[in-house]
Chain A
């Protein structure tokens, strides 16, 4: 067992593409760290550098107390689960699991014992003599896990191991992977593009974008205190509603399209940095669940009027798609790393989603008043995209 310490690691490919820039990340012993980000953000490259499958251009990688930059995968003592499982098709399940042990000249009876143990944990007992070709996707996934856990590796690496499973099995395997990891207690670096998977599985989650680490923290912190616009837009489903707004000169109200939201002194105490934005443009973020319909349960001074475009009834809640006359800031805009342009005209329509109680009084095609709690608003600098706190 060991920890992983990544210090200022970069990867530049021979063609000049800079896949990972100055990544610093630490995974403690027994910790489950999830790296998440859109495709092409460098998360898999980072994982492969830790695995020893990709050379590190610059920076230092430590596994345990050893600098691992120039060690082979074998010397690093890592185990990895691949996205496509990468099983050896000509070997039985037992041989697949035992391969790493047999390469290390482990005695036969010890191999048998360990394989049986791993098969027990993963529920593969009845399949040990099958070839991978006859197994279902979920079973192959388990074999890949078995191959990784049987060796008692120093660290675990997983590259989107659940992405090829169907939705139901994926949810089930999430819990299972975590259960196994807790039982083994090995530092794990897990890569996924699915933010739900990241939030539900990770002890901590590292959000990557274009090769740069955006924020690394506990899932709840990422959700409630995103460090920048990208994290705010990426984490959470439905995504945070982001609109362009302007703070009034005296700072007492926030102009959102044609509406104005009162900003009390309490908000400035909560986010002292906001004072610097008096009379300036910024991006305001509202979580879908922070926009209840104004009514007896929710009475606030500050209200937002929006036009209800559509309602999705999920049983336990309603997702209300609304529009208002403020420019929306979309996640796609951010993914490309483009600068935010100032809203050109006032008649721009921005769309958003509110998550409300199933019995809330909303009707499609009507203007509805939503209660706004100003201290729950998120603010971001439109140029640097960094959160105002």
Chain B
């Protein structure tokens, strides 16, 4: 009896979480295809007839596709660099016996606990003075650096689950530390690494403040600041904004569905025992 009740409870909770996750997407999709008048009369109503006028309005108001390209141009290399660096750091912190490893790790964590907004002003001053603004390469490296601590933190607990004896077996087999990282840790840790990659992608893709500081000229602007322009101080065209947000979220969704399979399958089975 108890198990049926608790299972029902779990099921209900999961349903609620599911709805709360999917609803915003549905809300965006539905309202992006309604006219402004229809939305303002009844924001939560169902569409009577669908129109794509918001999308054409979006493309004519802001350089949407260009901003998507800018974003991809920054985000993809930054995600690859940050994820690789985080994996390497997490590997060293968990598997390589180094002096002061823990001190280094906690120092890094302290940096992570500092709110990002705190570095915004110094970052702006520094970027303005050195003339690195509106330039993709510095932006890539700054985003990489900002995202390394969190990724390292997540992957450290992930790599801890990899048995030390597997690493030791590779050492006895004659692998160097870097070979162990490339050929043992990376493949085994793939699910965690991909998770960190997606989270890093989300972090950078959705970032507004740092992107405003680093890339604010129209010919370098990323997607989030571009969409922010749609929301005016006094007036906002909500359906157009919805269309922009939905299209802006599309790369993230594609990335998620493309990699979802990896999360489900555990990579560790059969290593030990």
Q: Which residues of A contact B (CB under 8 A)?
A: 51-53, 72-74, 78-80, 82-90, 99-100, 103-104, 131-135, 137, 140, 147, 151, 157, 164
Contacts and interface: CB of A to CB of B under 8 A. Distances in A.
Contacts of B269: 89, 133
18 contacts: A51-B168, A53-B171, A74-B174, A80-B168, A84-B165, A86-B271, A86-B272, A87-B270, A87-B271, A88-B271, A89-B268, A90-B187, A99-B175, A99-B183, A103-B174, A103-B179, A104-B174, A132-B271
Given A86-B271, A133-B269, 19 more contacts: A53-B168, A80-B172, A82-B168, A82-B169, A84-B272, A86-B166, A87-B270, A87-B272, A88-B188, A89-B268, A89-B271, A90-B190, A100-B173, A103-B179, A133-B270, A137-B273, A140-B270, A151-B173, A164-B273
A73 B171 contact: yes
Nearest to B190: A90
Contacts of A133: 269-270
A99 B175 CA distance: 9
Interface residues of B, number: 24
A87 B267 CA distance: 12
Nearest to A134: B270
Interface in B181-208: 183-184, 187-188, 190
Interface of B: 163, 165-166, 168-175, 179, 183-184, 187-188, 190, 267-273
Contacts of A80: 168-169, 172
B103 to A, nearest CB: 15
A86 B165 contact: yes
A347 B98 CA distance: 60
A-B pairs, top 8 by smallest CB distance, nearest first, are A133-B270, A132-B270, A84-B272, A86-B165, A100-B173, A133-B269, A74-B174, A86-B169
Q: Is the interface of B mostly helix, strand, loop or mixed?
A: helix
A151 B174 CA distance: 10
A387 B65 CA distance: 89
Residue of B168, B172, B187 with highest tally of chain A CB at under 10 A:
B172
Contacts of B165: 82-84, 86
Contacts of B267: 89-90
Contacts of B173: 99-100, 103, 147, 151
A151 B268 CA distance: 25
Contacts, number: 85
Nearest to A164: B273
Contacts of B268: 89
Contacts of B184: 88
Contacts of B188: 88-90
Contact of A53 (B172, B174, B270, B273): B172
Nearest to A82: B165
A12 B52 CA distance: 74
A225 to B, nearest CB: 36
B273 A85 contact: yes
A99 B270 contact: no
A103 B168 contact: no
Nearest to B186: A90
Contacts of A140: 270, 273
Contacts of B270: 87, 89, 131-135, 140
B47 to A, nearest CB: 48
Contacts of A103: 173-175, 179
B12 to A, nearest CB: 35
Contacts of A104: 174
A88 B162 CA distance: 10
A303 B273 CA distance: 51
Contacts of A74: 171, 174-175
A140 B271 CA distance: 9
Contacts of B169: 80, 82, 86-88, 147
A68 to B, nearest CB: 13
A29 B258 CA distance: 55
A86 B175 CA distance: 15
B136 to A, nearest CB: 35
Nearest to B269: A133
A100 B174 contact: yes
Nearest to A74: B174
A173 to B, nearest CB: 15
Contacts of B170: 88, 99
Contacts of A85: 271-273
Contacts of A84: 163, 165, 272-273
Contacts of B174: 73-74, 100, 103-104
A100 B166 CA distance: 13
A365 to B, nearest CB: 46
B172 A51 contact: yes
A133 B266 CA distance: 10
Contacts of B190: 90
Nearest to A157: B172
B263 to A, nearest CB: 16
Residue of A80, A83, A89, A135 with highest tally of chain B CB at under 10 A:
A89
A332 to B, nearest CB: 29
A90 B273 CA distance: 15
Residue of A51, A100, A137, A151 with highest tally of chain B CB at under 10 A:
A100
Contacts of B171: 52-53, 72-74
Contacts of B271: 85-89, 132
Nearest to A48: B168
Contact of B163 (A78, A86, A100, A137): A86
Nearest to B174: A74
A131 B271 CA distance: 10
A147 B170 CA distance: 10
A131 B273 CA distance: 14
A95 B83 CA distance: 27
